[in-house]
C-alpha cells in the first residue's frame, strides 16, 4: 500500500454519528408503523362511510326539493281554486 492509499485510509476512517444516535434509532424502531392491511381497511371503512353519508345527504336534499315543489304547487292550486270560486259567485 503506497502513501496515497495510506492517506485515503486515514481520510476515510470510520466516524461516529452524533451522540444518542443508537438510542434514537432504537426508539424509532419501537414506534412500529401501522401494518399496511390495517391502513387499507381503515381507508375502505372511511371511504365507504363517506359514500354512504353522501348518498343519504343527496337523498335528503332531493326529498326536500320534492316537498318544496309539492308545497308550491299546492299553494298555486289553492290560489286558482279561490279565484274560480270568486268568479262563480
Partner 1 sequence: MIAVAGTGQAACDFDALVREHQSMVFSLAYHFLHDRAVAEEVAQEVFLSLHRNLGSIESAAHALFWLRQAAVRRAIDETRRRRRRPQVALEQVAEPAMTQPRGDPMLSDVLRRLIAALPEDPRAVMILRYQEDLDPPEIAELLAMPLATVKSHLHRSLGVLREKLARRGVGEP
Q: Which residues bind partner 1 (CB under 8 A)?
A: 2-5, 7-18, 21-22, 24-26, 28-30
Q: Which residue, 8 or 46, has its beta carbon nearer to partner 1?
A: 8
Spatial separation of the C-alpha atoms in residues 41 and 17, rounded to whole Å: 39
Spatial separation of the C-alpha atoms in residues 88 and 83, rounded to whole Å: 9
DSSP code at position 32: P
Query: How far apart are CB 15 and partner 1 at their closest, in Å?
Result: 5
Q: Which residue, 6 or 81, has its beta carbon nearer to partner 1?
A: 6
Q: Which residue, 8 or 44, has its beta carbon nearer to partner 1?
A: 8
Cα within 13 Å of Cα(21), Cβ side? 5
**Max CA distance (Å), the chain:** 126
Query: How far apart are CB 42 and partner 1 at their closest, in Å?
Result: 21
Query: How far apart are CB 1 and partner 1 at their closest, in Å?
Result: 10
Q: Cell numbers of 27, please?
A: 426508539
Amino acid at each position: 500500500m503506497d502513501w496515497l492509499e495510506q492517506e485515503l485510509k486515514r481520510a476515510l476512517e470510520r466516524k461516529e454519528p452524533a451522540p444518542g444516535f443508537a438510542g434514537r434509532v432504537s426508539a424509532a424502531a419501537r414506534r412500529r408503523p401501522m401494518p399496511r392491511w390495517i391502513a387499507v381497511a381503515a381507508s375502505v371503512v372511511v371511504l365507504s362511510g363517506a359514500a354512504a353519508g353522501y348518498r343519504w345527504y343527496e337523498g335528503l336534499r332531493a326529498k326536500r326539493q320534492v316537498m318544496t315543489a309539492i308545497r308550491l304547487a299546492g299553494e298555486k292550486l289553492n290560489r286558482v281554486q279561490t279565484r274560480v270560486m270568486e268568479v262563480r259567485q
